[in-house]
């Protein structure tokens, strides 16, 4: 799916943004870069701070950590 290009499409896909006033929403949409990642790509490593708030337009974002035994633990998933 391609990224939403206008306000109404963003609100359809992300209804949590509906509480924002029009100028705030417009500013958010104008300043929010859209990034594309490959399947399995690590976006942030352990201890790294993210400088953005992920909103998944297409696909799935998985947040995981490794157990002391070396097993991957799924913390949460965004779709």
Q: Rounded to two decimals, what is the model's pTM? A: 0.59
Q: What is the mean pLDDT of residues 59-76?
A: 93
pLDDT over 50 (residue 2): no
Confidence (pLDDT) at 28: 82
Quick one: three-class SS letters along the chain?
Answer: CCCCCCHHHHHHHCHHHHHCCHHHHHHHHHHCCCCCCCCCCCCCCCCCCCCCCCCCCCCCEEEEEECCCCCEEEEEEEC
pLDDT tens figures, 5-14: 567 777 888 8
pLDDT over 70 (residue 3): no
Average pLDDT, the chain: 84
């Amino acid at each position: 799916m391609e990224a939403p290009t206008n306000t109404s499409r963003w609100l359809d896909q992300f209804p949590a943004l509906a509480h924002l006033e029009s100028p705030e929403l417009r500013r958010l949409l104008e300043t929010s870069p859209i990034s594309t990642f490959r399947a399995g790509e690590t976006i942030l490593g352990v201890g790294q701070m993210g400088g953005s708030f992920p909103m998944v337009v297409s696909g799935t974002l998985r947040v995981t950590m490794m157990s002391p035994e070396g097993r991957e633990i799924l913390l949460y998933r965004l779709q």
